[in-house]
Structure 1
Amino acid sequence: MGHWALGISYSLSPISLISLISPTPHSPFLTMSLKSINDILGVLEKQAKWQEQPFQRLLKFWPEVVGPVVAANTRPLSIQRDVLSVATSSAAWAQNLTFGRSSLLLKLNKNLATPLVDIRFSTANWQNPLVERKQQQTVSPHEHPSYLGDEISRPDVTSTKDVNAAFGHWTKIMRSRSHGLPLCPQCQSPTPPGELQRWEVCSVCAAKQF
């Protein structure tokens, strides 16, 4: 029996032996192997896309998700323990965005493989200290969007010792400031022209848009 098997093995030509070991281009083994490789490459490509650094990926779609107004007044800083830290241009922006962070989380998590659990807004780290000091030296209050002009006199604090008189004086000042100002198209509040020119709404309404 052993001699018969040995005879069979010797009866195969070297080419036949090679064909058994190495599949031909039309071999089903080769076709299956190529398909498996393509499938693996496809999976790896998808994994590479989703395994991109979450923060780098967030930076790419942040302006699209929050909109141009919010994007101009915010800057994502980092993601630590699935919590996103965002710097804001003012405390008002930080407060308004904190109130609306639940809906913003839903929008952001649609584009992230690992969902965020929270967002923290703060004015800290909004600008580099050197840049901020330089701007404080060169930027005039006249350039601020909420600037109303020098024609409004400062309140006379020495002549308003009584609380009621002080409140009345303050109310008069507020009315004089808002007199003749254009109205915000959303909340109908008197709004400095600079705010409308920059955001098309008042600063409070602008902070709520994202």
Structure 2
Amino acid sequence: MSLNSLGNILDTVKQESRWQEQPMQRILQCWVEAVGAMVATHTRPVSVQRQVLWVATSSAVWAQELAFRRQRILEKLNAQLSQPLLDIRFSSAQWQQLAKQDSLIGDRTSSSSRSGCDHPSWVGNDSAAKGDRQPRFRHPQAAFKHWTEVTQTRSRHLPLCPQCQCHTPVGELERWGICSICAAKQW
């Protein structure tokens, strides 16, 4: 038995497990690329039954429009799939049901929920706003030192917690009147 690097072993396992990949997973991964970002906001793949993809649309108009584009979308999807689809069916019937599910668990496509902007502890992302690249560090100590400097710089302008006098995001003070650490100690 020869010794292989962990990366080679993982690549082999990944290649071997492709046959087990569910077609719906792959469709969801490449849907935006196949239909475009604007169309993707009005559509959602729902299921695959007998090699036919069922897609919910936000309106009957979108269902009709996409029915005309069906062949092109099918070609783009089949280029990405191990088992080709035979057809695509568009319907607005399931859209309301999907919208209700999204409202119960939060809008998964919302950029604010994905990034955490609506969380009380959110203080912003200065480096992303400036377009800076994240530096790579050779040693964990250097990365930790950089992280502490960035965190201290970012929190310098924040108000102080009235209980522990630590810099605290405004959202935490608005929500609990104290920082999240002090609030957790009270629970």
Q: Could you say which TM-score interval applies, normalised by the shorter chain?
A: 0.3 to 0.5
Structure with the greater alpha carbon radius of gyration = 1
What TM-score, normalized by structure 2, do the two folds share? 0.46
What TM-score, normalized by structure 1, do the two folds share? 0.42
